[in-house]
Amino acid sequence: MPHTIATVGSAVGLHARPASIVAEAAAKLDVEVTLKLEGSDEEPVDAASSLLIMTLGAEQGARVVVESDDEDAVAKIAALIESDLDAE
């Protein structure tokens, strides 16, 4: 399954506003996208849920595995995670 590792770019990590932006983008895709912290034994979470994204506890600089059956979806969500979503 296509995947990549994205480094969290937002100063506050994937909390409230950044998680909401990522979840909104993922919800608009026609495929499921999942996220999990690199090296974590936890189950991946649905990227279309801001609440589940926040449960990752991903701070700025954390490495997040983005996975989906669609390479374009992986790239789109990874790019969002790597951007400073607090500045938008």
Question: Active-site residue numbers?
Answer: 15
Task: Give yes or no for a contact between 61 and 38, defined as CB atoms under 8 angstroms apart.
Answer: no
Task: Give yes or no for a contact between 33 and 67, defined as CB atoms under 8 angstroms apart.
Answer: yes
Furthest-apart CA atoms within the chain: distance in Å: 32
